[in-house]
Amino acid sequence: MPRVITAFSNPLVKRVRALRDKKHRRDEGMFLAEGLRILAEAEAAGRLPRYIFHTADTAGHPLVRRLSAAAETAGGEAIETDRDILHKLSGKDNPQTVLGVYDEFATDLGAVDRSRADIWLVAQSLRDPGNLGTILRTGDAVGAGGLILIDDCVDPFSVEAVRASMGALFTQQVARARWPDFLSWLRAGEGLLVGLSLDTSEDYQAPRYPRPTFLLVGNEAQGLPADYAAACDVRVKIPMQGAADSLNAAVATAVMAYEVLNQHRRG
């Protein structure tokens, strides 16, 4: 049976609400995910919530019942609450009716098994959580193994990143590393490192991309540092016909990733 919480002053409500803040996520080692669809993806990926919040009218939903039971069996807790509290927890005007609190995952580069996939996405100093989540979602779509975050990227466990990932945070492997450590790890195994750069004339459709290919995209405003680009095996650019000189980072990553997938699909 779910615990019922209807008071804003409830300590658990305060703790969960605080998870929208990075410092509190780090202290608690937990993060928020909202909505039936994302919680279903998490379940399919073998992740159960530590806490599952739902409203009275979703208590009977099969997934909510199953997740609540599974979470309780695993030592977690199901909590019935109201929309006002869900609004407070999610910060959205129109909150989802189900919210899960999950343990953060380890993000050690050493745990990445590159043989698991033919495409890996790598982002450097990414600042926008929506871009990060969208890149995870694209990674899922192209069958990438995961996303490796280089240097100081936005937190992949932020509410906005989890939301934009549409559940791909649970299906993609996420790793974090400094640039020299990533390079050492990369060079200890197979794979072509392809840098998206504006300082090259090489068209992104020209190279043949092996399995695995690592696609590296830089910060939204600055792009890749020159020495990072120089360390790549190949530097490519996506052609642009207009007045602007760059694409949105998540868009550029997707256009590149689909080129690699399309080459692999052609065999």
- Dist CA 7 CA 5 (whole Å): 6
Length of the chain: 267
HEC string of 139-197? Answer: HHHHCCCEEEEECCCCCCCCHHHHHHHCCHHHHCEEEEECHHHHHHHHHCCCCEEEEEC
Q: Closer CB to a second copy, residue 16 or residue 254?
A: 254
CB nearer a second copy, residue 44 or residue 106 = 44
Q: Find where tokens 């790793």 sit.
A: 175
Q: Which is nearer to a second copy, 78 or 236 (CB)?
A: 236
39: left (phi over 0), alpha (psi -120 to 50) or beta: alpha
Question: Of 179 and 258, which has the nearer Cβ to a second copy?
Answer: 258
Q: CA 207, CA 173: separation in Å to the nearest integer?
A: 26
Structure tokens at 2: 């779910």
Question: Rg of the chain's alpha carbons, rounded to an integer?
Answer: 20
Residues near a second copy (CB under 8 A) are 41, 44-45, 130, 134, 137-143, 164, 166-168, 171, 205, 238-244, 246-248, 250-251, 254-255, 258, 261-262, 265
Shortest gap between Cβ of 22 and a second copy (angstroms)? 15
Query: Measured from the CB of residue 231, what is the shortest distance to a second copy in angstroms?
Result: 26
